[in-house]
Structure 1
């Protein structure tokens, strides 16, 4: 009799609909080493690694990457094509876009790099006037008061704008630019790939800005800021965040409630 009751209960349980994982779409804009050419379908970069860790750690949400671009990401977010923007800062043009905020507890930095020459010391980075800068198009730089307008950057700072940190570093090494700005994480990755170039570079002690990373979540997204914060905390406590980000000199720091 007991086995029959158990069998009936098991049959009933199997007939209940399985709760499907909620699909959460994360915008993936080319921002190496975080995201590398997502439009090509390449699974390289730190964002795909983070998404893989998030999906492995739980079954309530299925995180997927949706390719976007640095300029297009705002509209994709506002129009609901993506639910989340990750490795962002609310000061980078998001002020008028409704969102909730999750402090990721991750910090990177933007640094200045020039050719190592006998007459160049750290003082070379103190005054940018009259120097040719190689910048990443669409980025918000502190030295320019976070104004990313190309005409402003070209007019005020003699800037060349590209969509490639590699190109900017090569321009600087070939003498076509005096200073390139790159993220500390990118330079770390670049020198892992090209260690022979380390002796040719003078890296600034001056930091243009510290990137304190946030996740921005659309008000109608299937995941709340609180729920995503809990998932990140689980990865932090389990050591997965450290394993992903430490090789790129991205620091794990305390998070702050918003």
Structure 2
């Protein structure tokens, strides 16, 4: 009898502990190296690492990833399928979507890459007209005034749109595109995986845009912006943010003052 009572008490304790941790659903769209093909169920990329660190650091919230896509993420957010979008920027089409932004204090950059040739210098990147561009479909690029419309990019910039940075870089290496745009973090990871490609590429000093990353939280989310900011600060203070992002040349910077 006593053991049964103990088991019942233990079950009750475990249930209440699980209930105490509020579920926070984070949208995971393919955005390498931050999130890599989340629909395949593989926990690869920086977002799963961050979520793991957030879950280890406290017991009040259980952060889980919900696969979405670059175009679909707005509706998933508006309809409440996800509570939060991470590694975002309020300017990337979120203007009419109610949210609270949390500055993550992380910066990456979008850079131009071309095939290294004897006569090719940094000036090659100054004018994009007449050059074949390899771009990631759905991304908002500063040079194109953040307009991600495929017809516009193909018509105005002779763009090839893909869902793979690897493909875009290979197009440049093989001479099928003149310039690819990639995030600095992705290029850093790609060259670690493909060291033989490095000498074949000329990387721009020109930056298309600085990615200053935000977490966007839905008004009805179970976690507030202030609490999430505190959790990120905890990871910053104990060195885990640096450990996760430094290998990808993503800089930890002071969050912008609001």
Q: What's the TM-score once normalised by structure 1's chain length?
A: 0.93
Q: Tell me the SS of whatever aligns to 1:189.
A: helix
Q: Tell me the SS of whatever aligns to 1:59.
A: coil
Q: Equivalent residues in 2 for 1:76-225 (5 A)? A: 76-225=76-225
Q: Tell me the SS of whatever aligns to 2:96.
A: coil
Name the structure 1 match of 2:73: 73
Q: Tell me the SS of whatever aligns to 2:199.
A: helix
Provide the rounded CA distance (Å) in 2 between the counterparts of 1:138 and 1:26: 19
Number of residue pairs the alignment of both structures matches: 248
Deviation (angstroms), 1:15: 11
Q: Tell me the SS of whatever aligns to 1:109.
A: strand
Runs of 4+ in 1 over 3 A off after TM superposition: 13-19
Name the structure 2 match of 1:246: 246
Deviation (angstroms), 1:14: 6.6
Provide the rounded CA distance (Å) in 2 between the counterparts of 1:217 and 1:250: 22
Q: Equivalent residues in 2 for 1:25-64 (5 A)? A: 25-64=25-64
Provide the rounded CA distance (Å) in 1 between the counterparts of 2:170 and 2:92: 27
RMSD: 1.7
After superposition, the C-alpha distances for 1:85-132 in whole angstroms (9 at most, x for unaligned) are: 000000000000000010000000000000000010000000000000
Deviation (angstroms), 1:16: 11
Change in CA separation of 1:15 and 1:236 when aligned onto 2, cut-off 3 Å: closer
After superposition, the C-alpha distances for 1:12-36 in whole angstroms (9 at most, x for unaligned) are: x979944520000000000000000
Change in CA separation of 1:20 and 1:109 when aligned onto 2, cut-off 3 Å: same
Change in CA separation of 1:257 and 1:195 when aligned onto 2, cut-off 3 Å: same
Change in CA separation of 1:15 and 1:246 when aligned onto 2, cut-off 3 Å: closer
Unpaired stretches in structure 2, ≥5 consecutive residues: 1-9
Provide the rounded CA distance (Å) in 2 between the counterparts of 1:194 and 1:243: 23
Q: What's the TM-score once normalised by structure 2's chain length?
A: 0.93
Provide the rounded CA distance (Å) in 1 between the counterparts of 2:171 and 2:255: 37
Change in CA separation of 1:187 and 1:132 when aligned onto 2, cut-off 3 Å: same
Which has the larger Rg?
A: 1
Provide the rounded CA distance (Å) in 2 between the counterparts of 1:16 and 1:89: 37
Deviation (angstroms), 1:196: 1.0
Provide the rounded CA distance (Å) in 2 between the counterparts of 1:15 and 1:93: 42
Name the structure 1 match of 2:3: none
Unpaired stretches in structure 1, ≥5 consecutive residues: 1-10
Q: Tell me the SS of whatever aligns to 1:144.
A: coil
Q: Tell me the SS of whatever aligns to 2:203.
A: strand
